[in-house]
Chain A
Amino acid sequence: GENVEQHPSTLSVQEGDSAVIKCTYSDSASNYFPWYKQELGKGPQLIIDIRSNVGEKKDQRIAVTLNKTAKHFSLHITETQPEDSAVYFCAATLNYGQNFVFGPGTRLSVLP
């Protein structure tokens, strides 16, 4: 089955700097890759996603890139703000809306 690895497990950046989180997946048939943000005591919330037929997607300060050949995808956050501090999870699936396999998470701290 699918296996998703995520690095780094923790990341600290200064406010205004960029943050990059990288995930690798094992099944080349995976076709959908969402990213979730989880704040303390809450459920994960979708922040951005990308399908396998697209190489890059951007939404304001957040972008995701996908390299199908290398089987990895990355989350890029620019101009980080303290409210970006949270745990971020990547996921992959073979069936767009079903059975996501999640990475172990990255705890991002944005220092003022």
Chain B
Amino acid sequence: NAGVTQTPKFQVLKTGQSMTLQCAQDMNHEYMSWYRQDPGMGLRLIHYSVGAGITDQGEVPNGYNVSRSTTEDFPLRLLSAAPSQTSVYFCASSYSKGGNGYTFGSGTRLTVV
């Protein structure tokens, strides 16, 4: 079982560049989400999806875009990278109403210079 797969693991971008962080899960989870992790601030929700074709904003959505065309995939797009977006990004998925907690990917460490 692959679980939640994130690519790439590391990325360096220049200010103003765009890129897509990939996330795929093979557990048929309805719910998928993106968090960013910054020192001393825990994990903050960027965007989430409760099913294919449905997305919504979390706590810190500015500068990010998402889409959910299939149940398995939930890519996160950085439209014009800024140094403030330097962070570790985690994708997580779950059954929406199962109370089973999230399964996290292994993360993408992004540096914007």
Contact = CB atoms under 8 A, between A and B. Distances in A.
User: Are A and B physically bound partners?
Assistant: yes
Given A97-B31, A98-B48, A43 B98 contact: no
Interface residues on A, range: 20 to 34
Contact of B99 (A89, A97, A105): A97
A87 B16 CA distance: 33
Interface residues of B, number: 29
B70 interface: no
B43 A89 contact: yes
B64 interface: no
Is chain B's interface secondary structure helix, strand, loop, or mixed overall?
loop
Interface stretch (A45-53, A55-63, A76-84): A45-53
A49 B31 contact: no
Interface string B28-40: 0001010100001
A42 B90 CA distance: 10
Contacts of B100: 46, 49, 97
Contacts of B94: 97-98
Interface of A: 1, 4, 6, 9, 32, 34, 36, 42-46, 49, 51, 89, 95-105
Given A96-B98, A99-B33, A105-B40, 13 more contacts: A1-B59, A42-B107, A43-B104, A43-B107, A46-B100, A51-B99, A97-B96, A97-B99, A98-B96, A99-B58, A101-B45, A102-B42, A105-B42
Interface of B: 4, 31, 33, 35, 40-45, 48, 50, 58-59, 90, 94-107
